[in-house]
């Protein structure tokens, strides 16, 4: 496993992170056992970053992670959890709730500190409030020793830009914005480098678009994007390959991005992804796929409040909280 420094945090993170969103579906004993094995497979494979949230599985994912890392040296695991989003349509970024959320997460994760404490999906909130109230509140929590670094997560580039320009954060988490079909996070690269924020990239499969089975019907992408990704996936099959493999390798080849988070509740999938990451990127296949996707490159959808999205959004489809809850296991 290779490692990179995560911006101003100074910590070395594995190029592949473990996304725990799908662990929230592990209430059955058999599923929970697989989820615990998946956590351990990630750690055994050299992954040291685990991304989770109380939102995933109504807090169940945090409990699974807490149990999964219980016999692992704590200083060898970087836990990145979140606060502010707790249900399909439940958001609370108030300082009081953030403090309470932190203590609850510490209990579920069975630890006395969180490495990266992130405000979850801030595009659904008033960004003035996030900048002036929420972020200062969690910065103050650093003094207690309960958290080491402060971060935010969001889909819209405009939201991430606003946060980087107006607030002091250590990390940002962006999903679906450095994939074969969308590399728009590149537009923020100068600002990210100037602020030295640590970038965490998630969902290299674009919420299922870049998989052979394709996304769920609710996926908020415009039809043109869905159809192009379907054509690209079929092209890969005809070439004897898998678009998910190509998507994973494409995201990992961006050396300027410290870590890419992959989610799975299956130890076999974790191990498979680790193997695929070591294989060379098929440049000829990539060229063919990019040619198919070129007409829809960087085509996006609206997430959260309209005013927090990029001007003239390219899709009239808005992804609501219920839809976002469904895709976490696929990304």
- pLDDT tens, residue by residue, 276-301: 999 999 999 999 999 999 999 999 99
CA distance 122 to 7: 21
Tokens 């490495």: give the residue.
115
- Indicate whether 29 pLDDT > 70: no
The pTM assigned to this predicted structure is 0.92
pLDDT at 32 (0 to 100):
87
Sign of the C-alpha dihedral computed for residues 137, 263, 229 and 236 taken in this order: positive
- CATH architecture type of domain 3-327: Alpha-Beta Barrel (3.20)
Q: Has residue 178 got a pLDDT over 80?
A: yes
Q: How far is CA 32 from CA 35, 50, 63, 169, 327, in A?
A: 5, 17, 10, 34, 20
Lowest mean pLDDT among 25-29, 37-41, 67-71, 112-116: 25-29
Structure tokens at 245: 């493999």
Asked if 51 and 20 touch (Cβ cutoff 8 Å), the reply is yes
Does the pLDDT value for residue 130 go beyond 70?
yes
Task: Spot the catalytic one: 55, 56, 86, 124.
Answer: 56
Q: Report whether pLDDT(322) > 80.
A: no
The whole-number pLDDT of residue 168 equals 96
- Residue 324: which pLDDT band, with cuts at 50, 70 and 90? very low
Residue 56 among the catalytic residues: yes
Q: Which residues contact 290 (CB under 8 A, 6 or more apart)?
A: 180, 297
Per-residue pLDDT band for 321 (boundaries 50, 70, 90) equals very low
Q: How confident is the model at residue 28 (pLDDT cuts 50, 70, 90)?
A: low
Going from N- to C-terminal start, the domains of the chain cover 3-327
Residue 203 has pLDDT above 80, yes or no: yes
């Amino acid at each position: 496993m290779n490692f990179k420094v995560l911006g101003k945090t100074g910590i070395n993170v594995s190029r592949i992170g473990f996304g725990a969103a799908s662990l929230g579906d592990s209430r059955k004993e058999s599923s929970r056992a697989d989820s615990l094995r998946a956590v351990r497979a990630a750690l055994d494979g050299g992954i040291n970053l685990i991304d989770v949230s109380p939102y995933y599985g109504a807090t169940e994912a945090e409990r699974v992670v807490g149990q999964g890392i219980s016999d692992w040296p704590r200083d060898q695991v970087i836990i990145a959890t979140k606060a502010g989003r707790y249900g399909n349509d439940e958001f609370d970024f108030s300082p009081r709730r953030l403090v309470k959320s932190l203590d609850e997460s510490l209990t579920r994760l069975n630890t006395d500190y969180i490495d990266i404490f992130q405000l979850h999906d801030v595009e659904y909130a008033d960004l003035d409030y996030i900048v002036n109230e929420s972020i200062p509140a969690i910065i103050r929590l650093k003094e207690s020793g309960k958290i080491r670094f402060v971060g935010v997560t969001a889909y819209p580039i405009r939201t991430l830009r606003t946060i980087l320009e107006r607030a002091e954060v250590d990390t940002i988490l962006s999903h679906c914005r450095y994939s074969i079909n969308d590399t728009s996070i590149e537009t923020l690269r100068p600002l990210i480098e100037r602020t030295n924020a640590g970038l965490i990239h998630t969902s290299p499969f674009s919420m299922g678009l870049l998989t052979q089975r394709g996304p769920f019907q609710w996926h908020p992408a415009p039809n043109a994007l869905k159809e192009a990704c379907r054509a690209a996936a079929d092209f890969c099959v005809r070439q004897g390959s898998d678009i998910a493999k190509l998507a994973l390798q494409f995201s990992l080849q961006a050396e300027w991005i410290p870590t890419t988070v992959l989610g799975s509740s299956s130890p076999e999938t974790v191990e498979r992804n680790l193997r695929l990451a070591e294989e060379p990127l098929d440049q000829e296949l990539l060229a063919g796929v990019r040619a198919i996707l070129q007409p829809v490159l960087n085509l996006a959808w609206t997430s959260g409040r309209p005013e927090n999205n990029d001007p003239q959004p390219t899709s009239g489809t808005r992804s609501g909280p219920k839809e976002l809850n469904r895709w976490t296991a696929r990304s």
